[in-house]
Structure formats: structure tokens, C-alpha cells
Copies of this chain bind each other. A is one copy, B any other.
């Protein structure tokens, strides 16, 4: 795949396919019948129960939205000052694009019935019943919750692409992610008739659906873009440029942890399930704590320095990993899942550095690799006490059980299939999209603009025009 002509032809061919797919989907929007779960989605809960569950879902949605604050601070803080404005514009533009597309067709593709591969009803939320399926939660409230999730996936995609992606490229790939890749691949696992869902694949709050998809796109983008100018890797005698504002970056990490309390516990869509929301909140906390502490000690063991960046990525890795299994594992399980996640993140960072892939904030190890680990971990640690959540509590009539709790390898196998399918499909599709964007020349900014600084060149502003910088050139050569 290193032959430029082959690359160009494949890119053009697949890019054409992608555009064709988009066209077909738009036509579907116009001709396909409206959704019908208005009739079938009867709920038997009382108004009080539906109100409690809706309050829970909406407040969780608001906390997940707050993760946008965390993401932009984390990314901007860990980047160089010359590319910080770009990160903010990108994060906000993503959010805006996501809101509009997820209304127009994203929600329909992902959460409405249709085929095992894609939802085909409910475009612009037309024709839907008052509440989503049997949840008792209004469709518009549920949409806000799922919009915030889609927005998270969308923002993750930018993580490994910081500092050299042109803004037209940003806009186009954001449309691809929020409008097509995330909702279509997500339908497989979370759609009412998705093929992975039907097969028994479980991903409670999205280690795979949100984090692995976002992280895989990020990886495809980083490979397509290549490293920033002047980025020298460790094996070549360099290393990642230092975070330009560690305080903002680490505060962003803590705000993400805060927002995760909406992400995971809110995914019950039910507060009547009091044991479920308590358990998920506990497990989320525990995996973050063990992940953070392990990364901290690994950093000290390696360098005799207590590294802030690694510690933050450690607890984020724990949070990503516990996102899939948090409903079904015990406190002890959460503790060990966090520990392994931190190890995965640390060695993932090393691996990317070795492979000379420039991932400025560690999006690939944290979201893709820890997401895969978390998805698989359910097959090991599911306690066999709980099935799927319902509006009033866990369904205990069909529980899931992992290998360590006597359930054999069946669940683990399903998790492997689900994780691999999603990751490979996402890598292939997003890789094609990125290379098409590269071919048409909108993916990477020009060398002239990159030397000038992308904030100035693309956004006409420096993040901190009044501060004197200690020197611009060194930051261009990797330090």
C-alpha cells in the first residue's frame, strides 16, 4: 500500500463508494416508511416512575455534555500553545455538526429499527412515539443523552490528529464520523435489531461503541496525517513535546472523570434500578482509582518522577475500560479492570512512539486500546448476577457470566467478535475516508502554515497573544 498510484486509485474508488453510500442513505431518508415503535413501545410504568427515570437520563446527559469541557481542556493543555485555538474550534464545531446530523439521520441510523446493519426509520425524529421503546423516557430526552454520547465519540476522533489537520478536513471527517461511521457501526451493537446486539454482544455504556470507534478513527487519522513537523520520536533521540499547560490539561482530565458519572450510571436509563446505578457509580470510581494509581507508580518506577500526564491517562484508561462492564462486575472486578487498563495505556503509549505515530494526547492508547480491554474484560469478570437493565431494575432472569465466575468462554468469545468487528470495520472505513481527504488535499495544512502556527494560519488568532513565549522554534523541533 506504499505505491502512491495504487494508493490514489484505491482511495478514489473507495471514496466514490463512500459518497455513493451517503447518497443512497439520503434517498432512504426521503422514501422509507416512518418508524412504528409508537405502536409497539407501550410502557407500563407509572408517570412517577417515568419522571424519575427521565430526570436521571437528562441529568446524566448534561454531565456527559460537560465532558466536552473536559476534552477541550485536556487536549488543549496537553498540546503546544500554537495549536490550542484549533482544538477549541474543532471541539465546538464537532458538537454543532453532531447535533444537526444526529437529529437529521444519525439517531435514526443508530437507534431505530431497520436492518441488522442500519436503522431505517425516524429521520428528523419524525413519526416516533412519545417515548423511546419501552424505556418510558421521551424520545427527545433520550436523543439529548445519545447526542452527548455521539458528540463524545466525535471529539475523541480529533485526539490523535491535533496540530496538523486542516479545518476543511476537520469538518468533512466530522460529518463522516457523526453522520455515518458512529451511528451505523453503533447500530450493530446498540440498535434494537443490530446484529451484534442480537448475537449477545454487551457494551453497557460504550467502551467499544464510543471509545473504540473514536479511538480507531483517531488512529486512522494520525497515520494518514503523519507526525507534526519537527516531531522526533524516542527511538530517534527525541520524544513528545511537553504539554504547554499541564494545569489546564489535568483539570480537563478531572472534569472528564466528573462527566463519566453521567456516562456510565446514566446508561441504565433508569433510577428505579437503584442497585444498578449504585453499582455502576461505584465501579466507575474504583477502576479510575486503581488505573490512576498504577500509572502513577509505573511512571515513578521508570523515571523516578511522578508523572502527571501519565497519571491522568491512567485514570482515563480505567474509566474507558470500565465503561463496558460496569453494570455486571463486582467491586473487585472493577479494581482489577482498572489496573490492567493502566498497564495497557502505558505500553500502548510506548508502542505508538515506537511505531512513529504522533498521537499528541494519547487518544489511541486511552480510547482504542483500553476500550478493547474493557470490552473483553466483561467476558472475564461478569459475575453472573445480572442481565440487562430494565426501567425498574436488572433483569435477573437471563444473567451473563464471565470466565472467572464459571461462565466459560462463551461470553468472552462474543465480546471478542464484537470488539474486533467494530474496530476493524471502523479502521477500514475511516482509513479510507482519511486517505480520500488526503488525496483531495484537505487533510493536512501546508508546511508554510504549520511553521507559521496553525492557530494563526487557520484561525487568525493566537491563544495567548499577551504572553511572551520562551521560544517558538524549539517547540517545532520536538521540545
- A residues contacting B by CB (< 8 A) are 46-52, 54-56, 58-59, 61-63, 65-66, 68-69, 72-73, 76, 80-81, 84-85, 88-89, 91-93, 95-100, 103, 124-125, 130, 137-144, 147, 167, 242-248, 250-251, 253-255, 257-258, 261-262, 265, 271-272, 274-275, 277-279, 281-282, 285-286, 288-290, 292-293, 296, 303, 305-309, 311-312, 315, 331-332, 335, 392, 458-471, 475
Is B141's CB under 8 angstroms from A278's CB? Answer: yes
Sorted nearest first, the 8 A-B pairs with minimum C-beta distance are: A99-B289, A141-B278, A305-B460, A138-B278, A140-B278, A140-B282, A96-B293, A96-B292
Collect the chain B residues with CB atoms within 8 Å of residue A55's CB.
52, 55-56, 271, 277
Collect the chain B residues with CB atoms within 8 Å of residue A251's CB.
69, 72-73, 88
Is B392's CB under 8 angstroms from A47's CB? Answer: yes
| Number of copies of this chain that the complex holds | 3
How distant is the Cα of A247 from the Cα of B461 in the complex, in angstroms? Answer: 11
Is B255's CB under 8 angstroms from A69's CB? Answer: yes
**Nearest CB in chain B to that of A65: its residue:** B258
**Nearest CB in chain B to that of A250: its residue:** B88
Is A48's CB under 8 angstroms from B52's CB? Answer: yes
Q: How far is the CB of A130 from chain B (nearest CB, A)?
A: 6
Collect the chain B residues with CB atoms within 8 Å of residue A93's CB.
292-293, 296, 306, 311
With A59-B59, A85-B246 as known contacts, state yes or no: A306 contacts B274, CB within 8 Å: no
Q: How far is the CB of A444 from chain B (nearest CB, A)?
A: 16
Collect the chain B residues with CB atoms within 8 Å of residue A92's CB.
250, 253-254, 292, 296, 308, 311-312, 315
- The contact sample of 10 A-B pairs, CB cut-off 8 A, is A59-B59, A72-B251, A88-B247, A93-B311, A140-B279, A140-B281, A141-B274, A142-B278, A305-B461, A308-B459
How distant is the Cα of A282 from the Cα of B290 in the complex, in angstroms? Answer: 37
**Nearest CB in chain B to that of A99: its residue:** B289
Is B293's CB under 8 angstroms from A261's CB? Answer: no
